[in-house]
Structure 1
Amino acid sequence: MRSARRLLEDGDVRRWYENLCRGSRLTADVRLRRLNLFCERHNMLPKDLAEMGRMDIRKLEDLLHDHVSRLESEQYAPSYIEDIMKALKSWLSYNYIDLKRRVKIANADIAVTLQDEKVPSKHELKDMINAATLRARASISLMAFAGLRPQSLGKSDGSDALRISDIPDLAVRGYDVCFKRIPAMIVVRRPLSKARHQYLTFLTTEGCGYLLGYLRSRIAKGEALHGDCPVIALNDGYEEKGRKHRDSLIITTKEITAEIREA
């Protein structure tokens, strides 16, 4: 989102973005991109949009209405259009501008891109796991058998992740790792929870087996596991593949989901 970042040179946009980040960095990034796309399409700046709302609210509402109609005619998904409107309303609300007219979006409650998707069957899940790397197997297991979100395994900005200490039933003993009890309890800390409160979940016997296999492979490569280590981590030698050096081994949401898609 390099082009969207230029908007942060405006102090008001920067403060709006920072305010959104306090709730969710992911949401803030998405809304900044949506605002940028709208402004580029209409050859205007965010401050121009806010000024239009102050001077002529009807003109602003007409602009938003026409924008929605145009996107619908271009066959954009209703959920995508609604996402753009949320970003614009957020920016306008931050500037004390409240829309009077409701701009409706057809079929906004239908996830068009997900209509043909289905939950993998037991056999399909097994095939997916068998085709995956050790790390992807562990990620899939934590999501499928413990109900974790990819963002809980590694935040989008790489600032935090599920850690060894978040699985109290997991014991690291020298050059080995084992579970003290199964199903294994997992503590999802507040920063990793979409609901923004800490909760508990459990990993099944099958999931524990895949996770142990992955963790033991890391130990075999010389990694000294401890409580602060991310459960799902960057692969050894990632820098040799042309990636930038990182201060921690935390993997990002994008990297986790990309690896799973390849399975």
Structure 2
Amino acid sequence: MSTRTAVVTGASSGIGAATARKLAEAGFHVVLTARRTDRLDALAKELTADGRSVAVHALDVTDRAAVDSFAAGLDRCDVLVNNAGGAVGSDPVATADPADWRLMFEVNVLGVLNVTQALLPALVASGAGTVVVLSSTAGLATYEGGGGYVAAKHGAHVIAETLRLELNGKPVRVIEIAPGMVKTDEFALTRFRGDAERAAAVYAGVAEPLTADDVADTIAWTVGRPAHVNVDLLVLRPRAQASNYKVYREQTQ
């Protein structure tokens, strides 16, 4: 039997890179995609040194022509992990820059749509395909200053929910993973446009926020369930986070 292939978008860092490692360890041939090929090449070098099977493809998920070309070049696809995404800004709705909202919608919603549509025929043809949508607890509940990101992640959540209905009866399952507070090197820093102090404040006093490995381990577990088992929606938070707006923070002296 041919080695199963898993495509991971946004694999150049954070959750995407961690997920690629986990799936490679599980025996998948992992196709690493992202815009930053230098980081993908470094990850591929790491994984191949450990005897893992990987391939690297530069890909902007918002470029539909590029996505279609990428899909056409794949021999097979058994698992798609829609991880590419992100937040920009934290302004209230009244003063938010529409350009920020457009950017977040393009990558978090249309990016998921583009890659899923392009790879769906191969996923069906595999006989036991899996689509993973990495959404967020922001896709399930709102919070102040998060309007644009919340709207985008609600869109990703709806794609997963609708696709599951529409694929009923076909050999493809749709899994949604919705993480809460995850501390990675780039997410908050990107959101606050490189302001390291504001980025650090997000996690201030939180003893153990989730890590990229925590989320990747969860993704790999859901993908590893028998093909007839569908984990529709899995919400993942650190113990300190009871909701998007209730987080226990230890007091510093």
Per the normalisation by structure 2, the TM-score is 0.24
State which structure, 1 or 2, has the greater radius of gyration over its C-alpha atoms: 1
Please identify which structure carries the higher helix content: 1
Per the normalisation by structure 1, the TM-score is 0.23
Please identify which structure carries the higher strand content: 2
Higher relative contact order (CA 8 A, sep 6+): 2
